[in-house]
Structure formats: C-alpha cells, structure tokens
Amino acid sequence: MEKNDPLYSAFCAHDPRFDGRFFVGVSSTMIYCRPVCRARLPQRKNCTFFSTAAQAEQAGYRPCLLCRPELAPGSSRTDAASSLARRAARLMEENCGSGDNLAQLAESLGCSDRHLRRVFEGEYHVSPVQYLQTCRLLLAKSLLTDTSLHITDVAMASGFQSLRRFNHVFKEKYGLAPTDLRKHMSREKRERSNVVVSLGYRPPYLWEEMISFLARRAIPGVETVREGTYCRTLSLQTAKGAPARGWLAVSNDPRRNVLNVTLSEALLPVLPQVLGRIKNMFDLYCSPEAVGEVLSAMNELGEGLFVKGVRLPGCVDPFEMSVRAILGQQITVKAASTLAGRLVEELGERLDTPVEGLTHTFPAPQRVVELGDSAIQRLGELGVIRGRAEAILALARAIDSGELTFDQCRDPEEEMEKLRRIKGIGGWTASYIAMRTMAWPDAFLETDAGIRHALPGRTPRELLALSEGWRPWRSYAAMSLWNWLEKKENEV
C-alpha cells in the first residue's frame, strides 16, 4: 500500500471505518498498529502503511500490545480485486490449525499452487505461507492475552506442530517469549474457567436486530438466546477426523467493537474452524460504510427502511441451516423451529452443557444418509410432510457425497443451481440458503411475503427490478426490510 496523506489522516482520526483495511508500521518502535490505535501518534515520517498484518510482520514489525492487530476485522468478499486471493485468505484463517499445505489449499480452490501463489502475492504482497504463519501467530497472541490456557494448548490450537517450533517462531517474529505476554493478563482473565476469545468488527453493528433474528429462529436443544447472548452447541471434526463436540456463547462488547466468544475446552482442537464460522455467522467482515453508500437510497422509498449497521446472519453448520430453511417453507417461523427441535431430539446426539436448554448437537448429514429411505418415514412421524422429508434426504446425500459444498470458496450461483435441481427446493429456498450459508451478499427474495409486505403495491417482477439498484448488497437490503417489518410489528 502506498504511503499517502489520506491514510495518515485516517490514522490521526482513529477512524473505525478503516479498521482492518490497513495497518501502520512505526519505524521508531518497529511496532505495527491498527488505524484505531490510541497510543501516542507517531510522526508521519516514521509511518509505513501495509495492506495486511502479514505484510507488516514480513517487514519486521511486531504487533502493538495496546490496539492488538489480531482483533482487527477482515475484508468482505466484494472488497478485493482478486476474489481468489480473498477466498484463500479466509480458508487459511479458518483452517490454520489443520496442517494443510499450499497444494491442498489450491486444490480446494480449483487452481494450481503456482497460480494461487502468484495471485496471492499480487493481492497481499506476501506469500500464502507467510500469511498463514501470521494467522497462527495472531491467534496464539489472542489466546495468550485473553485466556489462561497452557502454552502447549495455545501452540496446538494455533496450528503449530510442536511447542519448540511455536516458541522459536514467536520469539523470532515478536522479540519476546510467549510467556511474556501473560504479564499483561488481568486477574479476571487468569481466573476464567472457560476459553474466551475476542473478534473485532467495524461499527456500527445492529446487535439487537441480529440477536432478535437468531432468537426467533433458534432450534430447541441446539440454540438459545439469553440476555443478549447467543448460545449453541457445535459438532466439528479435527484435521485427523476426530469428533470435537462442545458449546459456545457469543456476546457483544460495543465499547471495544468486539464480540466475545466463550467456548468449552472440547472445541479447542478445532478453534480456528470455530472462530471462522463465528465470523461468518455474525458477518464480521462487513463494511457498514460500503453497504450504506448503496442502500441508504432505500430510505427514499420509506423512512427507516435502511439503518446503517445491518448485518447478514450466517451460520456455523450449513446442513443445519439448510434443513431449517426447508422445514420453514410455507409455515410460520415458530412452527419450523418446533419441527427442527423434534428432528434434533430424534436424530441428534446428546451433549451435557452448563447452559440451560442446550442438550443436543444437530445431526450430521451422514446420520440422515445412514437411515436411507426410512428417513422419510422417521421424519414423517415427527410431522414433516413427505415432500420436505424427501428434500432433506436428497440434500443430506448431496452434501455427504461432496456434490454440494456450502463454503465461501464456491460459486454461489452454481450451488444455487444445484439446490434448485433437488425436488422440493425452489428459488426462494435456494437463495436463502446461499445467503445464510455462503455469506452471499447479493441474493434477493422478491417472492418473500415479508419483503412484499414492507414494499407493498409491487409485483415480484417489479421488486426484482427495484433491487437492481441495490447491487451488490441485495442480501443486506432483504435483511433491512425484515428488520423494519419486525420493528413495525413490535410497535403495534
């Protein structure tokens, strides 16, 4: 990133809109900071600007202990000129503990490792290997600062294959031993019994609207919302295929512009995966300013239709979310949650948690596939009509076989087309699934009853034409309309 006065001006103003978009290396201290850092402002001649934390570290700078670059939000998928490089970066953040090499990463992205390296270095000015190492180091720094985990557990959770290697790389890059960071930990953090990790976002963030949306659609036994905190169970697999089942809770700290993620130690072996999915679920890559520049025009149609800070609710389990979407076809939100709760009680695995109401993990697609055609009868006994039961079984088989892959490395349009080929999944359901599972920002549900209610007097064709002016943020437009409608209903 070039040195220029606009960036220094943003740094002087501590402008949160630029948080995560660039980092500032200070040559007098050899420390790099976020634009929002509140430390004493360095002189312009001592500042060098970098696109990423990895680029700053490669230049020899160490992360600031005050503003903590590991808490900086990432970039949304529409920000970058090279979507391939951005998708690779997301994958590395989520899987930095898996031990996958560059060739495996490139294969999952459908390109050669040589092409990926060339594109990645052109976008980020560091190699994929260097970026991955920074992901691991910053995750380790966060765990050392915010948790009382043993150093060995920190090293393993961050993707280092040995404690010796971790100690060596950490000291080489940051100029201090991992144990030295513990001196900055408060007594409160030392006495925590659970693991708590903070994830940054760009304000504003309409947290109450997000929590309300999730609470209305919570699956009994799997999810619950209590006093503004979202809680759930989760079942994942480690890189070696071992199960990791536990619970987590997510709360908002608006003073620091972070979400605090509390999780059970059973999820530590898959910590990068968990944090990656939480970032997706709570849309932490979003840039409210970029969305607002386009969607503020919605308020010309009606007062308050768009409020800056709207987020796109994602998910942590694509199969769970997709099944929930199928169950919700042509019935109320409450009725769909009831059906999903019955399915969980019948096919899910029990899990002991300290959180009241969290009793099961959602069944994996393999569990449904194993039932074969009898799954249709089992689901029917729970009150699921035959057409939707058949669609759920077909969906489970497609995911289990790898035909469907709901991750952000895939083309949403292609995955939606595959979904529409499943009998019982129409355009609305396919678009909604892409919106929630793949963080697809440009889906629009012109046939949705809520959207038609919020913008009355227009046909679906007219709504679709109207939404063209809201690209590439039409998913956020849909969320804004749903939020507005819920607010109006609550006022009645």
Question: Given the structure tokens 């709207």, which residue do they identify?
Answer: 310
CATH number at residue 239: 3.30.310.20
Residue 486, domain extent = 197-491
Same domain? For 381 and 285 the reply is yes
CA 388 to chain centre: 28
Say if 69 falls within a structural domain: no
Say if 111 falls within a structural domain: yes
pLDDT on residue 100: 67
Same domain? For 148 and 207 the reply is no
Same domain? For 274 and 416 the reply is yes
CATH number at residue 158: 1.10.10.60
98 confidence band (pLDDT: 50, 70, 90): low
Please give the Cα distance from 180 to 440 (Å, whole number).
41
The answer to whether 214 touches 250, Cβ cutoff 8 Å, is no
Please give the Cα distance from 16 to 11 (Å, whole number).
9
> How large is the average pLDDT for residues 72-91?
70
Same domain? For 210 and 155 the reply is no
Please give the Cα distance from 470 to 18 (Å, whole number).
23
Among the three residues 151, 172, 192, which one is the final residue of a domain in this structure?
192
Question: Given the structure tokens 């889906």, which residue do they identify?
Answer: 443
> How large is the average pLDDT for residues 260-271?
94
CA 319 to chain centre: 16
Same domain? For 235 and 169 the reply is no
Among the three residues 136, 165, 192, which one is the final residue of a domain in this structure?
192
Say if 64 falls within a structural domain: no
Catalytic residue among 19, 33, 315, 317: 33
CATH number at residue 34: 3.40.10.10
Question: What pLDDT, in 10s, does the model give residues 28-66?
Answer: 999 999 999 989 999 999 999 998 999 999 999 999 999
Share of the chain above pLDDT 70, in %: 94
Among the three residues 192, 207, 235, which one is the final residue of a domain in this structure?
192
pLDDT on residue 319: 97
* Whether the predicted pLDDT of 384 surpasses 80: yes
Same domain? For 447 and 365 the reply is yes
SS3 227: coil
Say if 437 falls within a structural domain: yes
Same domain? For 172 and 290 the reply is no
Same domain? For 33 and 118 the reply is no
pLDDT on residue 334: 95
Nearest to 398 by CA among 380, 420, 376: 420
Token pair of 270 as six digits: 């898959």
135 is catalytic: no
Question: What pLDDT, in 10s, does the model give residues 389-442?
Answer: 999 999 999 999 999 988 765 678 889 999 999 999 999 999 999 999 998 899
Residue 221 Ramachandran class (φ > 0 left, ψ -120 to 50 alpha, else beta): left
pLDDT on residue 190: 59
pLDDT on residue 16: 79
pLDDT on residue 3: 43
Say if 59 falls within a structural domain: no
Say if 78 falls within a structural domain: no
pLDDT on residue 236: 96
Residue 14 Ramachandran class (φ > 0 left, ψ -120 to 50 alpha, else beta): left
Same domain? For 166 and 207 the reply is no
Please give the Cα distance from 301 to 181 (Å, whole number).
53
Please give the Cα distance from 147 to 154 (Å, whole number).
9
Name residue 204's amino acid: P
Same domain? For 433 and 307 the reply is yes
* Whether the predicted pLDDT of 4 surpasses 50: no
Mean pLDDT computed over every residue of the chain: 91
286 is catalytic: no
Say if 321 falls within a structural domain: yes
Same domain? For 330 and 443 the reply is yes
Catalytic residue among 146, 153, 317, 448: 448
Say if 376 falls within a structural domain: yes
SS3 240: coil
pLDDT on residue 188: 61
pLDDT on residue 5: 73
Same domain? For 353 and 478 the reply is yes
pLDDT on residue 490: 82
The 3-class secondary structure across 255-272, one letter per residue, is: CCCEEEEEECHHHHHHHH
pLDDT on residue 409: 59
pLDDT on residue 77: 52
Per the structure, the count of domains in the chain is 3
Angle, helices 374-381/333-347, rounded to nearest 10 degrees: 120
Question: What pLDDT, in 10s, does the model give residues 240-261?
Answer: 889 999 999 999 999 999 999 9
